[in-house]
Structure 1
């Protein structure tokens, strides 16, 4: 089986490369510079030459606030590019593995009360910002294409590669004695190592459809930061604050917890407690 990883230089793409290097499989990893998946003709030309049996799409526009100023670019990368891949996969009868986000849901406080275990896969979507809208466009393109697919939604993604909340908060602590962290947004992190391992299990079992994949738990960013500093042995004063103290261009959902009940019931899938996922990540970072 020949696997193509798009967006191979990103946080999730690099995790896939490291994982597949330890497997006896043939794979090709392409950064966006070598494959412009927003260009339909270029996508078909490159893919026809490579002839993959499976495409794992890790390419994404993830600048949530910047997307409000660059909606066209966000929709090109997260929407049209996904449509291009899905159409190719449908035509060639190969599987597309694609990663989406908790931000396709509205994240209201009412939903938090009604859905204490998080949004199930089939809950109606209704994003509150451009980034979420662009990711939903990609999801719809896959569903409409008729291709064989695995659509995996993740949230608060963190790993040893790229930039993320864990790395940022540790860097801030190096130059400050005190930090304010939002304490009214609820969710749970997805650690790239666990995401890749469980996604591969789904691929290996021939699963298809939509799955939510995070670690276990329900926390705020303040809870997350507190545990990061605790495990890293960093002494710093943390102050919990409301989101209103950090106004952002893009609206953030107050609740973005994803229910993992569906994927947790699949034999071979192992979801980690969020504290354990963090411990593994910090060990990888040698913190």
Structure 2
């Protein structure tokens, strides 16, 4: 029986971990979920005490400061959560000998137009990071802290994350589709959605394969936010007039990458891994939400 501590249990990935382990893996994994109010990862002494008491085999870190625009205004807090606390988890991983599973982001990459031509299948794991916003910068620093501190880790990068829980693009579009007849959606940012359920099932497989290192987990295909919105409304039979706009139509505090597709060749080479086409993933999620 694997004993796993789950940090950030109330988020999209945290809730999905609990659901999947409860449904399909309760006989092999004992999952101990902690929300940020149960155990704040920036309270080092409490984290240390809890880990020493529980003696986990695995720690799954779904806790993060994820408000990309808010991060620009709250730089100290963002770095504390996404970098400094992550370094402490890595140090504990080394000391207490547990596997650290940590989630990162497509925003570690620069996302320039040239890269879209260079990497039609997405950025490989080995491409040098060059984040263009503070959120991406702190997530990259967190990744580096893990790599430099413990070998016993899995760093999983995801992009455009959506699932049954929390707030995400799919749920926002469904809500706006009921409220409005017309919507403007950005058509000059390229990437691929990642479905929380698929992330967790692939992470469980990596765990069973005793893999370590950095992996990209996202769905197959390359689309814009406009393409994604159009598919959401088509599949859901919601009639909305959609207008394609550039990113300039929605000025944001934090700069967004033009291109942030993640290449998944590495994880596809792991026996038992299963990546889905973005449309298949969307149909499944919409079915679950309904």
Instruction: Between 249-258 and 20-29, report the one with greater CA deviation.
Output: 20-29
Does residue 40 (structure 1) correspond to residue 44 (structure 2)? The answer is: yes
Does residue 10 (structure 1) correspond to residue 14 (structure 2)? The answer is: no
Corresponding residue number in structure 1 for 2:221: 217
Q: Given that residues 151 and 212 in structure 2 are in contact (C-alpha distance below 8 angstroms), is that contact kept between their aligned partners in structure 1? A: no
1:249-264 maps to which residues of 2 (within 5 A)? 249-264=253-268
Q: Distance in 2 between matches of 1:56 and 1:154?
A: 15
Q: Given that residues 162 and 193 in structure 2 are in contact (C-alpha distance below 8 angstroms), is that contact kept between their aligned partners in structure 1? A: yes
1:143-162 maps to which residues of 2 (within 5 A)? 143-162=147-166
Q: Distance in 2 between matches of 1:173 and 1:146?
A: 46
Structure 1 residues 100-120: Cα deviation after superposition (integer angstroms, max 9, x where no partner): 000000000011111111100
Corresponding residue number in structure 2 for 1:248: 252
Does residue 265 (structure 1) correspond to residue 269 (structure 2)? The answer is: yes
Corresponding residue number in structure 2 for 1:71: 75
Unmatched 5+ residue regions in structure 2? none
Does residue 82 (structure 1) correspond to residue 81 (structure 2)? The answer is: no
Q: Displacement of 1:127 after TM fit? A: 0.2
Q: Distance in 2 between matches of 1:27 and 1:253?
A: 35
Q: Distance in 1 between matches of 2:176 and 2:56?
A: 42
Unmatched 5+ residue regions in structure 1? none
Q: Distance in 2 between matches of 1:237 and 1:27?
A: 45
Structure 1 residues 42-93: Cα deviation after superposition (integer angstroms, max 9, x where no partner): 2111111121110011001110001000011111111111111111011111
Q: Given that residues 100 and 139 in structure 1 are in contact (C-alpha distance below 8 angstroms), is that contact kept between their aligned partners in structure 2? A: yes
Q: Given that residues 55 and 96 in structure 2 are in contact (C-alpha distance below 8 angstroms), is that contact kept between their aligned partners in structure 1? A: no
Corresponding residue number in structure 2 for 1:62: 66
Q: Given that residues 96 and 147 in structure 1 are in contact (C-alpha distance below 8 angstroms), is that contact kept between their aligned partners in structure 2? A: no
Corresponding residue number in structure 1 for 2:130: 126
Corresponding residue number in structure 2 for 1:226: 230
RMSD after superposition:
0.8
Corresponding residue number in structure 2 for 1:169: 173
Q: Given that residues 105 and 139 in structure 2 are in contact (C-alpha distance below 8 angstroms), is that contact kept between their aligned partners in structure 1? A: yes
Q: Distance in 2 between matches of 1:115 and 1:54?
A: 34
1:177-216 maps to which residues of 2 (within 5 A)? 177-216=181-220
Does residue 20 (structure 1) correspond to residue 24 (structure 2)? The answer is: no
Structure 1 residues 140-179: Cα deviation after superposition (integer angstroms, max 9, x where no partner): 1101112400100000000001000000011111111000
Q: Given that residues 188 and 274 in structure 1 are in contact (C-alpha distance below 8 angstroms), is that contact kept between their aligned partners in structure 2? A: yes
Q: Given that residues 86 and 147 in structure 1 are in contact (C-alpha distance below 8 angstroms), is that contact kept between their aligned partners in structure 2? A: no
Instruction: Between 22-31 and 181-190, report the one with greater CA deviation.
Output: 22-31
Point out 4+ residue stretches in structure 1 off by more than 3 angstroms: none
Using the size of structure 1 for normalisation, the TM-score is: 0.98
Q: Distance in 2 between matches of 1:125 and 1:75?
A: 17
Q: Distance in 2 between matches of 1:211 and 1:66?
A: 27
Instruction: Between 95-104 and 138-147, report the one with greater CA deviation.
Output: 138-147
Using the size of structure 2 for normalisation, the TM-score is: 0.97
Q: Distance in 1 between matches of 2:62 and 2:240?
A: 35
Q: Displacement of 1:40 after TM fit? A: 2.1
Q: Distance in 2 between matches of 1:48 and 1:90?
A: 13
Q: Displacement of 1:219 after TM fit? A: 0.2
